[in-house]
Chains A and B, each alone.
Chain A
Amino acid sequence: MSVIVLIPLAAVAAKAFSQGLGSFWDSVNNPVARNALAITLGASLLVAAVGAVMGTLVAWVLVRDEFPGKRILNGLIDLPFALPTIVAGLTLLALWGPDSPFGVQLAYTRAAVVVALLFVTLPFVVRSVQPVLIELDQEVEEAAASLGASNAVTFRRVVLPALRPAIVSGAALAFARSIGEIGALLLVVGKIQIASIVIFADIESDAPQAAAALSVVLLAISLVVLLLLRWWGARNAR
């Protein structure tokens, strides 16, 4: 465990600060790195937000609705976890790239980055909300309705509070995944400077210290997200 995981990560941290704090700061606080972090964080936040809404909606349809082919659809939700991410990227390129069958070109734009990230993170929210929705006691909803609450009020006051922990944890996982994703983005990213792509370019151009410095920032962000999630989960469990 420590040989495979900890020592390599320690090497990244050591490399980041190998030329002192000043050069670490310079590697992180320059226009390219700042821009990359801003795009990455912005895209990841958007993906988490859209994923939370659409994931909850999809989970709702999968649990409460009945229609032919629902089981196949349910199986399809896991597709992004099963499909290699480079294939995910290629599928988006085929659909929204230069040879798009609809003539809509999204590839090499920020929209393509968001769509690619939505694809790979789809299962997180759906799969965390679904079991909670199945377990949810519908009698409470009926009680609310019989007391005169409209559907909108019932959803907001009864259903949503019960789902909130699952939605937040799914969205946080999607966010953490988005920050570091590279496979699905390699083909559609074009010239957009996503943080993981900048790190890769730094490695290729033999600038390991710059790559390591940016890596440390990314690592710190995803660690904070996961720690917050764990702390929040423990508080909710009580």
Chain B
Amino acid sequence: MRVSRGATLSLRAVALLYLGLLLVLPVAVVFGRTFEHGLGAAWSWVTTPAAISALWLTIIIAAIAVPLNTVFGVGCALVLVRSRARGRALLDGLIDLPFAVSPVIVGLALLLVYGQAGWFGNWFVDHGIRIVYAVPGMVLATIFVSLPFVVREVAPVLIEVGEDQEQAAATLGASSWQTFWRVTLPSIRWGVAYGVVLTTARALGEIGAVLVVSSNVAGSTLTLPLLVYQRDSQLGAGQISGAYAAATELALMSLIVLLGMTVLAPRRSK
């Protein structure tokens, strides 16, 4: 289709204006607000004890949830694509479920199962284990919401690379473990990496589900996104500057994730 110069330019202008107003300008304003009282003020907001502990908690939760979801995701993708086990179609349908469930509902669900009046709540209380309103519940919530990413990235790659090389390895006497490490894993590595990046992004930024199962106490069960929320809701005394500072910190983390996405996306499709 040969589009006239004028039409091309106006389409471009509309697209740039839309993205500028929707994406670029808002993010730029937050950066601006963060540093409006100088770098020092912003730095002091992200180095308060509450902010440092929130940063650590965010990283720890991601550090638990991402590896677990990666192993689970690769395993699940192998079952979905390579095995002929019964219930495969059911699993295929269930995998996407976490994307269809609102994060608040995830939080509610965990509350109803592991909370005090919940199904398994009593058992855990009897054994002195706190799940809900504590870090374990927040980890569970994060695992739930970021579960499908790795499977969804790895399964299509597995289908595309096919079984020929794996079968060749098997005929040459490799055990299935060796085949996995030497043949399968190297051929799906970019898909796995991209899935891990998406999982990490979601794990770092999750708030809806975590909000419900966290006790929201600064210093112990506050992640960075929760800290942003809390600082914004406590009006007055310049708390909003603290919210902006913590948001910029999170935005910088997600910028790294975004760079990872941009670098990995083309390799994945090769």
Contacts and interface: CB of A to CB of B under 8 A. Distances in A.
Question: Are A and B interaction partners?
Answer: yes
B117 to A, nearest CB: 8
Contacts of B105: 9, 12, 180, 199, 215, 218-219
The secondary-structure label for the interface of chain A is helix
Interface in A71-113: 73, 75-88, 90-95, 101
B3 A64 contact: yes
B39 interface: no
B26 A92 contact: yes
Interface stretch (B42-50, B176-184, B185-193, B246-254): B246-254
| Interface size of A as a range | 35 or more
Interface stretch (B106-114, B122-130, B154-162, B167-175): B106-114
B195 interface: no
A79 B29 contact: no
A25 interface: no
Contact of A91 (B7, B16, B26, B140): B26
Interface in B136-167: 140, 143-144, 147
Interface in A117-137: 118-119, 122
Interface string B226-262: 0011001000000000011001001100110110011
A141 B3 CA distance: 11
B114 to A, nearest CB: 8
Contacts of B118: 11
Contacts of A155: 1
Contacts, number: 231
Given A4-B140, A64-B3, A203-B107, A179 B254 contact: no
Interface in A126-178: 138, 141-142, 145, 151, 154-155, 159, 176-177
A180 B109 contact: no
A181 B1 contact: no
B250 A200 contact: no
A24 B169 CA distance: 57
A36 interface: no
A138 B262 contact: no
A76 to B, nearest CB: 6
A176 B100 contact: yes
A1 B76 contact: yes
B23 A203 contact: no
B235 to A, nearest CB: 10
A5 B207 contact: no
A83 B96 CA distance: 21
A199 B181 CA distance: 45
B102 A87 contact: no
Contacts of B110: 8
A203 B2 contact: no
A223 interface: yes
A84 B205 contact: yes
A12 B3 CA distance: 53
Interface string A59-70: 011101101000
B25 to A, nearest CB: 6
B39 to A, nearest CB: 18
Contacts of A73: 16, 19
A85 B12 CA distance: 27
A187 B108 contact: no
Given A5-B94, A218-B105, A86 B229 contact: yes
Contacts of A226: 96, 99-100
B63 interface: no
B219 interface: no
Contacts of B106: 8
A201 to B, nearest CB: 10
Contact of B207 (A92, A182, A223): A182
A32 interface: no
A194 B105 CA distance: 14
Nearest to A131: B269
B144 A4 contact: yes
A237 interface: no
Contact of A61 (B15, B97, B140, B224): B15
19 contacts: A1-B91, A4-B140, A9-B109, A15-B112, A57-B11, A75-B261, A82-B257, A85-B205, A85-B225, A87-B30, A94-B244, A138-B1, A142-B1, A159-B1, A180-B104, A203-B212, A219-B100, A225-B100, A230-B93
